[in-house]
Amino acid sequence: MSSEAMDPALARPHVGPAASPAHVVQGLRATSQGDLVELLSPEGVLTQHPDYPIEVTADLLKGLYRDMVLVRRIDREANALQRQGQLSIWVPLLGQEAAQIGAGRAMAPQDMAFPSYREHGVAWCRDIDPTELLGIFRGTDQTGWNPKEKRFHAYTIVIGNQVLNATGYAMGQKFDGVIGRAGGAESPEGAPDAGGPESVDEATIVFFGDGATSQGDVHEGMVFAAAYDAPIVFYCQNNQWAISEPVERQTRVPLFHRSRGYGFPGIRVDGNDVLACLAVTRWALDECRSGNGPVLIEAFTYRMDAHTTSDDPTRYRLADETEAWKLLDPIERVRVHLVRGGLADQAFFDGVDAESAELAARFRAFCVAMPKPEISRIFDHVYTDPHAQVERQRAEFTEYLAGFDDVDAESAGVSGAGH
Ligand SMILES: Cc1ncc(C[n+]2csc(CCOP(=O)(O)OP(=O)(O)O)c2C)c(N)n1
Ligand SMILES: [Mg+2]
């Protein structure tokens, strides 16, 4: 078949093993084809989409704007704290605020989320105080919140692994019969009709990146989710890069087309449009709660900063590309819409800025005052009960530390065995 006769979305970008910048841009275009659900254009013009209607009020827009400004501020503050030696590493979300806030605000309290490591905006929507993120990045804690209580799982660094966990969780929701009840024969008394965040039914949403789609775990998760009609939204933030690997190295088709192969719907949404992300994710979660899952959402967005604070993106991508994406900024388009429509006055914007400054100050003060953890904690919680091997390692480590003049093993807490 000649490439002219092919579905243009299936045309192969000619990307060799060492892609030049021109190839990168060409490849990006090749995987950009396909319908993009967009409600709020980069110029701030609002249109409804027939399949994903949403009631848009000034309060809704102002709330989403506030969320995005505050999480961006936290993100920039954390980045600076890492540069000042207060955090070991930080994973920036800059540019992905709309993709995360739209999805996070679409969730109902009873829904369950499985993040990767970049979902600080979704954490915010799950009522996790930003200071609770700090322990992970300061290297003092595994997670700062109770995943069961917040319905937001621990961050997962192993790429794609959370997709399996989330699929298993969603299969459990199906086996437990907590989907498709509202409005049906088994509807609890007084329950609203199926769907809608007011529903008593549950769904799962899992977050992963474009690069993660190359992992076996993601494939296996989608196969099982389809086979069991599991109530799960696969939410792929395609931020165009997996560290230094561009998305066209991961796929020959737009990522949302992948769902066809598993047998469930796939939607590509403008990931820099918070309203579109909200409307599409609401729809997808409703489908899952009503028993019509799974659904794949590809939020087409861009990672504006480095992969992490350990990365230097100038070594593998063009400044032109980043400059072009600046024009699609997720916060700016909401601000423009609010201003042009006379929906928010200067006092509102000043208020959000003041709140943002206060939050950043509290976040910073909390971080620099965090106590040093006792070194012995690395031996705690390995096993529930005392374990001979762990205790032997604890003793060896205590002896090792005792060999240094400037380490007081007692105050480091290593000698206190028996947890
Ligand atoms: C199984 C596994 N392989 C490799 C890595 C190293 N690694 C960390 S982040 C990353 C890229 C992930 O890219 P993507 O899925 O697009 O997510 P993004 O970081 O862009 O949000 C890789 C390869 C890892 N953490 N886990
Ligand atoms: Mg990526």
Atom 20 of ligand 1 has which residue's CA nearest to it? 242
What was the pLDDT predicted at 15?
38
Q: Are 205 and 195 in contact (CB under 8 A)?
A: no
Q: What percent of the chain has pLDDT over 70?
A: 85
Confidence of residue 408 (pLDDT cuts 50, 70, 90): low
pLDDT tens, position by position, 67-115: 999 999 999 999 999 999 999 999 999 999 999 999 999 999 999 999 9
Among 7-21, 34-48, 186-200, 386-400, the minimum mean pLDDT is found in: 7-21
Give the containing element (helix H, strand E) for 61. Answer: helix 58-83
**Cα 366 to ligand 2 centroid, rounded to whole Å:** 30
**Cα 157 to ligand 1 centroid, rounded to whole Å:** 8
Residue 43 corresponds to which tokens in the numbers above? 């110029």
Give the best-scoring range by mean pLDDT among 18-27, 129-138, 391-400. 129-138
pLDDT tens, position by position, 173-220: 999 999 998 754 444 454 444 455 567 899 999 999 999 999 999 999
DSSP code string of 37-62? B-SB-TT--B---TTS-----HHHHH
| DSSP character at residue 281 | H
Give the best-scoring range by mean pLDDT among 5-19, 63-77, 392-406. 63-77
Parallel, antiparallel or unpaired: strands 241-242 and 232-238:
unpaired
pLDDT at residue 229 is higher than 50:
yes
Q: Where are the domains of the chain?
A: 31-368, 375-412
How many other C-beta atoms can be found within 10 angstroms of the C-beta atom of residue 1?
6
What is the Cα 297 distance to its own chain's centre? 12
Q: Known catalytic residue: 303?
A: yes
What was the pLDDT predicted at 374?
81
DSSP code string of 213-276? GGSHHHHHHHHHHHHTT--EEEEEEE-SEETTEEGGGT-SS-GGGHHHHHTS-EEEEETT-HHH
**Domain 31-368 CATH (choose: 3.30.70.2190, 3.40.50.970, 3.40.50.1110, 3.60.150.10):** 3.40.50.970
Atom 13 of ligand 1 has which residue's CA nearest to it? 242
Confidence of residue 292 (pLDDT cuts 50, 70, 90): very high
Mutational pocket test of ligand 1: of 159, 241, 255, the residue with most ligand atoms within 8 Å of the beta carbon? 159
Which three-class secondary structure state does DSSP give residue 300?
A: strand
What was the pLDDT predicted at 375?
80
- Cα distances (Å, whole numbers) of residue 181 to 190, 196, 198, 309, 317: 12, 12, 13, 46, 49
40 residue type, one letter: L
Active-site hit among 316, 362, 364, 419 = 316
**Cα 183 to ligand 2 centroid, rounded to whole Å:** 39
Q: Are 156 and 137 in contact (CB under 8 A)?
A: no
pLDDT at residue 264 is higher than 80:
yes
Q: Own/partner pairs for 180-183, CB < 8 Å, 24+ apart?
A: 180/289, 180/290, 180/291, 182/289, 182/290
**Cα 385 to ligand 1 centroid, rounded to whole Å:** 34
Confidence of residue 394 (pLDDT cuts 50, 70, 90): very high
What was the pLDDT predicted at 183?
52
pLDDT at residue 16 is higher than 90:
no
Residue 388 corresponds to which tokens in the numbers above? 């001979």
Atom 5 of ligand 1 has which residue's CA nearest to it? 159
Among 35-39, 77-81, 115-119, the minimum mean pLDDT is found in: 35-39
Active-site hit among 72, 268, 307, 394 = 307
Q: Known catalytic residue: 235?
A: no
CA–CA dist 32, 36 (Å, integer): 9
Q: Is 375 exposed, middle or buried (0-12, 13-18, 19+ CB in 10 A)?
A: middle
Question: Average pLDDT of the chain?
Answer: 88
Q: Known catalytic residue: 268?
A: no
Confidence of residue 36 (pLDDT cuts 50, 70, 90): confident
Look up the pTM and report it. 0.88
